[in-house]
């Protein structure tokens, strides 16, 4: 996930002088969705290795995210859903059969070791980045582990559990009157669109494949 603020005046800030904050925690690459699952957090570590070996980190301020509290996640997500993610583990799944179905946690969004900690890590990077923008400490912020745009208020979806995009936008709205969210993932950013559908303070624009393709929303005629 990448966020940036608008330059104060047209052409006043060159590309080389833009202040970039980069959020990364080495632990994020240790989590595993399960054998054969297409979502692989290890790719974030591979991306970070490219950032380091190409020397790109020298042009950025590098931060390890400060972990977000579960309470902070309830700015968007329901209390019941967050509490469920905190307690569910591969060892106790049989005790939460009803909740697994209710919160859509299962095949696409499996339970794995350290699930909630993983959610904290990727979400904290996005919230931390938004805070840097609000403080005018950065012009651009990057969190390659973020962008899990399908998660709903009380439901996992499309490999996403916590919607860090929504939470980051809510953080930005503390200071900025309006936010433009641009989604270039191949899948429609349905979770973010749904979260802000009834407000004029957030405009969501999604460029994605449409048709018989997950999640099946985001028609070209939708406005």
Query: What is the DSSP-derived secondary structure letter of residue 157?
Result: B
150 in active site: yes
| Residues 6+ away with beta carbon under 8 Å from 204 | 181, 183, 189, 192, 193, 196
Question: How do 140-142 and 202-206 pair as beta strands?
Answer: unpaired
From 48, 77, 149, 150, the catalytic residue: 150
φ, ψ (nearest 5 deg) of residue 44: -65, -40
Locus of tokens 């080389």: 16
| Residues 6+ away with beta carbon under 8 Å from 219 | 210
Rounded CA-CA distance 171/133 in Å is: 10
Catalytic residues: 150
């Amino acid at each position: 996930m990448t966020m940036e603020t608008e330059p104060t005046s047209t052409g006043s800030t060159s590309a080389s002088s833009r202040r970039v904050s980069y959020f990364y925690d080495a632990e994020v690459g240790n989590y595993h969705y399960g054998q054969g699952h297409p979502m692989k957090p290890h790719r974030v570590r591979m991306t970070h290795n490219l950032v380091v070996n190409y020397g790109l980190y020298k042009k950025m301020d590098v931060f390890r995210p400060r972990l977000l509290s579960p309470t902070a996640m309830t700015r968007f997500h329901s209390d019941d859903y967050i509490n469920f993610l905190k307690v569910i583990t591969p060892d106790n799944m049989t005790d939460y059969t009803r909740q697994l179905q209710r919160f859509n946690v299962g095949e696409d969004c499996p339970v794995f070791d350290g699930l909630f900690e993983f959610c904290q890590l990727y979400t904290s990077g996005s919230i931390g980045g938004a805070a840097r923008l609000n403080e005018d400490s950065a012009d651009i912020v990057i969190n390659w582990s973020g962008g899990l745009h399908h998660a709903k208020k009380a439901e996992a979806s499309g490999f996403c559990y916590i919607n860090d995009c929504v939470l980051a936008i809510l953080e930005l709205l503390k200071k900025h009157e309006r936010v433009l969210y641009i989604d270039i993932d191949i899948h429609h950013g349905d979770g973010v669109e749904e979260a802000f559908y009834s407000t004029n303070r957030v405009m969501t624009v999604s460029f994605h494949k449409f048709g018989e393709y997950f999640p099946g929303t985001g028609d070209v005629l939708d406005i």
